[in-house]
Amino acid sequence: MKTILDKINKAYELEATKTKLGTHQVHLALLDELKVYAKNGAKDAVDYKKRKDAILKNVAALQEVVKIVALNKDYGKKMLAAAQKYKAQMDKLSKELGINLTGSEPDKLLSDLFMYAEDTQGDIDDALNAVRTLKV
């Protein structure tokens, strides 16, 4: 009977040891997984802080520029109106004097003014359209 009891106790101790080892292995696996996840989390936190700082810096700079462009959104149109006014004056002067001013220095400057007005308004419109495309 003692032999049977010893065998039962030995079997019980063996089973208890297996349970303890199994529990320790689960704890170690969980610890390893947490270490990896925490390491990745720390790296990601640093990366996203850098991204946030870059966004805040660029948004601040962008706000200043956009404000200036938005306040002058019709600048090119005003330039074009001024160029048309000068064109009318030049045409009137040309008729009064009876000379053709085509190709003259004032005519070349006027052509440049029309080109600058169109380019400027195009750039303003493109810039404001680009800002409108920003989405979150």
pTM to 2 decimals?
A: 0.62
Give the tens place of pLDDT for each residue, 13-66.
Answer: 656 555 555 555 667 777 888 899 999 999 999 999 999 999 999 999 999 999
Which amino acid is located at 37 in the chain? Y
Give the tens place of pLDDT for each residue, 81-104.
Answer: 999 999 999 999 999 989 998 899
CA distance 87 to 64: 35
Residue of 121, 110, 124 lying closest to 76 (CA atoms): 121
CB atoms within 10 A of CB 58: 10
What are the structural domain ranges in the chain?
1-60, 72-136
